[in-house]
Structure 1
Amino acid sequence: MSTPRLLAAPGFRLFWASDTVSMTGSYVTTVAVPLLALNVLHATGTEFGLLRASTWLPYLLFGLLAGVLVDRCRRKPILIGADLIRFALMGMIPLLAALDRLTMPVLIVLTALIGVLSLAYDAAHQSFLPRLVPTSGLAEANARLLQTNSAAQVAGPALAGALVQVVGAAAAVLVDAASFLVSGLLLARVRVEEPLERPESRNLWQELREGLSWVYRHRMLAPLALTGNVWFFFNAVVTTVLPLYLQWVLHVDSFAFGVLMAVPGAGGVIGALVSTRTGRRFGTGPTIVAGHWLAPLGYLLIPLAGNGIVGLVLVGAAQFVFGFSIGLEGPVAMGYRQAVTPDRLQGRMNATMRSLNRGAIVLGAPLGGVLADWVGIPTALWVGIAGLTVQAVASTLSPLRTIS
C-alpha cells in the first residue's frame, strides 16, 4: 500500500500527526529528565537505574491486564484520556522543581505514574492502527510511523540539549507536557468506527491466559517474543550505562549529550526507509534477524571510545547503527505481528509482548546502574553487549529466519 493511499485512509493523517507530536515531546524528555536527575538532583548510578526502571514498571505489573481491558473497550477514548492525564502529570515536574520540592524519589514516583498512562496508551495505540489501515498496508503504515518516530528522535533530543543549555532541564520538560495536550486534541478529531467484539468469556484470567498462549505458543511469535525479552533486558543495561558514560567519563555538555541521543533517530529514519523493501526482497525473518545482530555490533564501538573528538565520533557511530537496527526490524516485525493476530486478540498480543519486554527493562536498567557503581562503567557495557550477542545467535537459530 503506497504512502499516498495511506494518507487517504480515514483518520490515518491525524493519527500520524498525533504520533509525531507526542514522540517529539517524549524524546525531549529522554534528554531533559536524565540531565535533571544527574546534574540537578545528583543521582547515583543505582538511583539512575531505578529512575529508568520506574518508567517501565507498570508494564511489568499491569501490562497483561491492560491488554485485556483494551480488547474490551474502544481504543480512541483510551488514547485521548492517557494523553490528557500525562499532560497534567508531566507538567508537575517543572512546577515542583520551581518550588524546590523535586527530589529523586518524587521524580521516580511521577515517572512511574506517567508510565501507567503510557502503558494504556501503547496497548491501545498498536491495536488502533488496524482499525485505520487495511491489513495489506500495515507494514507500510508502521514504516511511516517509525520514520516519523525516528525523525522525532533526531529533533527531540537535539532540541532538548539546546533547551537545557538555555532554560534548564526542568523547564525543558514542559515541551513534552505540551506535546501530550496537542496529541490528545488531534486524536479527538479522528473519525473511526470501533464496534466491540465481545469475548466469548468475561473471565479475566482466562482472557489473560488466551493472550499469553497466543503469543508464546505461536510458532513464530514465540521466538520473536523470547528473543525480544532478552534484547530488552541487555539493551536496558547498555542504555542505562551510556548516559553515565557520557556525563562521568566523556564529560560532554548538555548540547553534545542531546546530539548523541539524537543520532539513533537518524539511523532509524534510514532503517525504516529500507525496511519494507528489504523485507520484500530478503523476507521478513531474515530482516528481523539482521536487526537483532546490528545492535550488539554497533555497541562494540562504545567501550572503545576515549575522550575527545574520536570518542564522540565512535559513540555517535554506535548510536547510528543501533537506530538503524530498530528502523530496519521494527516495521516488518510489527506488521507481521498485527497481520497474523485476530482483531479480538490485538490488544492482548501487543500488551503481552510490550509488557514483558518492558518488564525486562525493569530488571535490566537497575542492573546496569548497580554494575556501573560496583564494577565500573566499561565492565557494565561489556555485560550488556555480551547479552545482546547471545540473543542475536538465538534468533539466528530460531524459526524466525524462515518467515517469508
Structure 2
Amino acid sequence: MNDESQIGAIRADLRFAPILTPSLQISSIHAFIFPSRTFGAVSCQGGFVFSFFKFSVARSPLRSSAFLRLWLGLSISYVGDQFTTIALLWFVLQLTGSGVAISLVLLCFQLPGMLTGPLLGTMLDRWQPRLVMGIDNCTRALLIGALPVLSWLGILQLWHIYALALLAGALSPATGAGVRVILPHLVSEDELPRANALSSTSLQFASLLGPALAGIVVTQVGGAFALLIDAVSFLLMGLLVFSLPPIASHTLKEASLGKTKWLGGFDLIFRKKEILLLTSLSVIFFFSYGPLEAALPLYSERMLHAGAQGYGLLWTGFGVGALVGTLFTGFVAARVRPGMSQPLIAILWGGFLCPLMVVHSLPLALLCLALGACSWAPYMPIETALLQRLIPPAMRGQVFGARLALTTAAAPFGALIGGFLLQYLSPALVIGLSGIACVLAGVGGFLSPTMHSLGAKEEARPGE
C-alpha cells in the first residue's frame, strides 16, 4: 500500500472511532429531527400536516438548550478532529516518508483508550460527567495546542507527536463514554434514539466536510494553523460541556454507594445477558467489518483499476450513504424493535458487501458501499439508546467505558486478520468473506430468543 492509500485508510479508521460520535445538512434537518413522523404525514391533508409538523418540532431534542449546546460542541469538535488528522499525517509523511510512521500515529490515538476507557468510565459515574468531559476537552486543547507551538519554535520532532497523541488518546474515552452517560439526563427517554442519531450525524458530516476544509487550510496557511483550529475546537467543546446542567445528586450517590470499580463495567456486561448479547453482536460485527479496511485499497487498485482516486471515492460514497442512513434512524427505531433491527442491519451490511466479490466496476462498487453504509448508519444510535435504558444510571459510565475498550479493539484486529488473508486471497474474496461473516453475525442474533425480546417495554427500564 502506498503512502497516499495509508492516509486514506487512516481517515477511514477514524470515521469508525467508538466514539463512535458520529452535524446536519440543512436541507434534511426537518426529516431527521422527527423522521418517525414525517413519512406518515406526507400524504395527509394540509391542516393535519401543519398540526403534526408543530407537534414534531416540539418533540425535537434540539429544543432542549442543554442538548443543543452539547450537539454544537460535538459538531465543532468533530470538524476540528479532521484538521488534526490531515495536518499530523501530512507532517509525518513529509518528515519520514514512511507509511509505518503514519500507522503508529493512528495507533497512538487509538490504543490507550482501550486501557483507560474502563477507568474513565468509573470516574464518570463517581463525579459529574460534565466536569470529567470538560477537563478532558480542555486538557486535549492544551496537548494539541502544544504541537503548533513546538512547530513555530522549530523544535517539533516525531517523538513529540507520538507522546502527545498517546496522552490525547488516553483521555478521549472520557468524552466518548461521557456523551452516552449524560444524554439521558438532557432529553426524555422517547427522544434518545433521535438525540443519539443527531450526535452520530455530526460525526458523519464532519467526516465529509472536515478533510476538504483541512486540506485547504494545510495547503494555504500550513499544518500548524490547522492544529491550532482543532485545539480551539476542543476548548469550545470544554466550555460548552462545563455549561451543561449537573446530574441529580442521588444518581451520583447511588454510584458511590455501589463502590464503583475500574472493572465494574465488565462485571455488569457479563452478568446481564441482554447487555452481553448486544456487546457480543457489536464486537463480532465490527471484527467482521475489519478486513474490509485492509482489502479496500487493494480492491480499488487491482480489481477496479481506479487507484488512490477510486479508493477515496469509495469512502466518500460510504460517507454519503452513512449520512443519509442516519436520517432514517428515528424511522427505523419507531417501527422495528432493536432485537430485530440490529441483526437485520448486520445482515444488510454484509449483503451489500458480498456483490463486491464479482463487481469490477467503480460505479457499481460505489453504489454497493453507499447502500451498505446507509443500512449500517442507524446501528450505533439505536444500540446506544437501548443500552442507555438497560444500564442502571449509576453504572452507565463504567459499562460504556468497558464497551469502548472492547469495540475499539474489534475493527483493528479484524483488519489485522484481513491483512494476513490478503497474502493468500484476492482483495475481492477477502471483502466477500467480510460480508459473509457480517451476515452470519446477524443470523446468529436472529436465532437468539433474548435478542428477540430486546426493546419490549418491560425490558427497557434501567435497573429491572
- TM value normalised by structure 1: 0.82
Q: CA deviation at 1:296?
A: 2.6
Contact 1:157 1:259 in 2 (8 A): no
Distance in 1 (alpha carbons) for counterparts of 2:429 and 2:94: 23
Q: Sequence identity of aligned pairs in percent?
A: 25
Structure 1 window deviating more from structure 2 (380-389 vs 121-130): it is: 380-389
Three-state SS of the structure 2 residue aligned to 1:143 is helix
Distance in 1 (alpha carbons) for counterparts of 2:315 and 2:222: 17
**Counterparts in 2 of 1:25 and 1:187: CA distance versus 1, 3 Å:** same
Contact 1:10 1:192 in 2 (8 A): no
Q: Deviation per CA, 1:185-225, whole angstroms, max 9, x where unpaired?
A: 222333334422243343636xx24x223223323221210
Amino acid at match of 1:87: A
Amino acid at match of 2:257: E
**Counterparts in 2 of 1:76 and 1:57: CA distance versus 1, 3 Å:** same
Q: CA deviation at 1:61?
A: 1.5
Distance in 2 (alpha carbons) for counterparts of 1:215 and 1:42: 43
Contact 2:352 2:435 in 1 (8 A): no
Q: Deviation per CA, 1:26-74, whole angstroms, max 9, x where unpaired?
A: 2445555555556764334x65555444332123222222221211111
Count of aligned residue pairs for this structure pair: 393
State which of 329, 335, 340 in structure 1 corresponds to 2:390. 340
- Greater Rg, structure 1 or structure 2? 2
Structure 1 window deviating more from structure 2 (74-83 vs 293-302): it is: 293-302
Contact 1:59 1:359 in 2 (8 A): no
Within 5 A, what are the aligned runs for 1:320-331?
320-331=370-381
Within 5 A, what are the aligned runs for 1:193-212?
193-195=247-249, 196-197=252-253, 198-202=255-259, 204=261, 208-209=263-264, 211-212=265-266
Distance in 1 (alpha carbons) for counterparts of 2:93 and 2:359: 21
Q: CA deviation at 1:301?
A: 5.8
User: Residue 355 of structure 1 corresponds to which residue in structure 2?
Assistant: 405
User: Residue 176 of structure 1 corresponds to which residue in structure 2?
Assistant: 230
User: Residue 252 of structure 1 corresponds to which residue in structure 2?
Assistant: 308
**Counterparts in 2 of 1:166 and 1:394: CA distance versus 1, 3 Å:** farther
Contact 2:136 2:172 in 1 (8 A): yes
Three-state SS of the structure 2 residue aligned to 1:347 is helix
Contact 1:56 1:362 in 2 (8 A): no
Within 5 A, what are the aligned runs for 1:144-223?
144-163=198-217, 166=220, 172-195=226-249, 196-197=252-253, 198-202=255-259, 204=261, 208-209=263-264, 211-223=265-277
Structure 1 window deviating more from structure 2 (148-157 vs 169-178): it is: 169-178
State which of 336, 339, 358 in structure 2 corresponds to 1:282. 336
Contact 2:289 2:434 in 1 (8 A): yes
**Counterparts in 2 of 1:39 and 1:391: CA distance versus 1, 3 Å:** farther
Contact 1:138 1:339 in 2 (8 A): no
**Counterparts in 2 of 1:54 and 1:93: CA distance versus 1, 3 Å:** same
Amino acid at match of 2:256: P
Distance in 2 (alpha carbons) for counterparts of 1:127 and 1:290: 26
Distance in 2 (alpha carbons) for counterparts of 1:106 and 1:244: 32
Residue 72 (structure 2) pairs with residue 17 (structure 1)? yes
Instruction: State the superposition RMSD in angstroms.
Output: 3.5
Bigger relative CO (Cα 8 Å, ≥ 6 apart):
1
User: Residue 86 of structure 1 corresponds to which residue in structure 2?
Assistant: 140
Q: Which runs of 5+ in 1 are unaligned?
A: none
Amino acid at match of 1:280: A
Structure 1 window deviating more from structure 2 (68-77 vs 108-117): it is: 108-117
**Counterparts in 2 of 1:67 and 1:282: CA distance versus 1, 3 Å:** same
Contact 1:161 1:258 in 2 (8 A): no
Contact 2:356 2:432 in 1 (8 A): no
Contact 1:301 1:314 in 2 (8 A): no
Contact 2:82 2:207 in 1 (8 A): yes
Structure 1 window deviating more from structure 2 (12-21 vs 357-366): it is: 357-366
